[in-house]
Structure 1
Amino acid sequence: MREHEGAPLSSGFYLRDAALVARDLLGAVLQHDDGTQVVSGRIIETEAYLGPHDPASHSAAGRTARTWHMFGPPGTAYVYFIYGMHWCVNAVTGEDGYGSAVLIRALEPIQGLSAMRLRRPRARRDTALCDGPGKLCAALGITRAQDGLLLTGASSLTILAGPPVHDTHVVIGPRIGISKAVDWPLRFRVMSPRPIR
């Protein structure tokens, strides 16, 4: 689904199957305006979580206080905490109330690199600033405060349409860091000389 490059992706973009949205988010730009500066990165890796029937999805256990925003509406940010130390950001997809989303796994930094370096001082190179879901949230300053925000241009956290990524530059494989449905091919990654892990 094509949208105008540089404009916030509409709610209609997200009102589709999570796997389709995960593929089409490659090349889009995740942007956070924290009130003092804007930081952003191009999305280069995603994972789809299909809904209640997906055993690896948080929605499989039903709607809880933690997963409330995963259930919609489409284009909502679902931010959760893992391992007692990392935030992860997702874009909610599908019908309002369904419970599917796309995890943003990695970014190519674009804007606000000085802020990212301050927030991620242990990153040895700029390509490592956002090369994981927890790392990109740290670099962009995304926390629970952004949980439930609309990504469609009505809040400080936005996803902007980017240039399309041709299928020949996309690698599709199994999701990682999960213990259920590990063989489902729902991880989408832009080919890179250095694989994102």
Structure 2
Amino acid sequence: MAFLVVLETMTPAERVAFILHDVFRYPFAEIAEVVGRTPAACRQLATSARRRIRESRASSTPGAQQAGLVRDFKRAWQARDISALIGLLDPDATATADGGGLVSATLEPVHGGERIARVFVDLVASAPHLTILERLVNGQPGLVVEQGGVTATVMAFDVLGGRITRIWSVRNPEKLRSWQADHHA
């Protein structure tokens, strides 16, 4: 999945040069004919594509570090500790919620670590009987929030530089159906 995401960041010409050369072993002269560029330009496109892949690997946070940050976020959230939450969130972090128009969710993304911390503390204060569970979400450490034993929210996180940079909260019940039965481990 991460590889597909990196492919999406490449220009179409970079993608073609990289896949034809590095995956299918086409010579740059043949790739040049396909994309209508010089062999030297195709070589540069493939180099640029490889650089994107290297950079994405270097910037991704190891799972154990992300799990620790998610666990610390969960604890600070449950404790309503705004300063701890602010310390875990990147100052430019963004939180996005998808209610699908069926349940309450902020319509616009929330920007800024301090604003996100306050929104999350207000949320747990207004719904004190939430159960917050650490679970794998899309193969990464995340959180599942249950209300009355029913999955209400599934949260995924992006982490960079030891801080949470992005939080996605899925609240749309139609998108949570598979979580109702499968994730009570």
Asked if TM exceeds 0.5, the reply is no
**1 or 2 for the larger relative contact order (CA 8 Å, sep ≥6)?**
1
Please say which structure displays the higher CA radius of gyration. Answer: 2
